[in-house]
Amino acid sequence: MPSSNPRVSPRMGSVNAVSSKASLKRRLFKLRYVAVAVVCGWAAFHYVTFQRPMLQNLEMQHAELASKLTQLKVVHQDLQKQVVELHSKQFIENYAASHMNLVMPGQVPFTIGGR
């Protein structure tokens, strides 16, 4: 005759074995949450102590380099203007006349004072 006791059933085995499996699953489930929390905590600590200062340092370097790039672009534009001037015929004539005492054909060279 089958037993009316719910703790022992011929088909399911003992209730204690089932409840211990369920409690083991609950413990593993809770352990997963603890493991995830530990990993997230470590990641936050690592970010705050190592990654964030490095990121701030890189942002400062980026800002410095961006301002330097802007300055160099201005210098580059000035140099390009100077190159265009250097290739003009008028600039070459003026430079040759003032620095090398040369004159164009048909001009009369003269000096003023004790130069």
Per-residue pLDDT of the chain in tens (115 residues, 90 and over written 9): 455 555 544 554 555 666 777 787 777 778 889 999 999 999 999 999 999 999 999 999 999 999 999 999 999 999 999 999 999 999 998 888 888 888 888 888 777 876 5
* Residue 77 within a domain: yes
DSSP 8-state symbol, 47? I
* Domain around 48: 14-99
Contact 8, 15 (CB under 8 A): yes
Residue 112 three-state SS: coil
Would the pTM count as exceeding 0.85? no
Which residue type does 90 have? Q
In the structure encoding, which two tokens stand for residue 58, read together? 């890189």
CA distance 32 to 49: 26
* Residue 32 within a domain: yes
Residue 14 three-state SS: strand
* Residue 105 within a domain: no
* Residue 7 within a domain: no
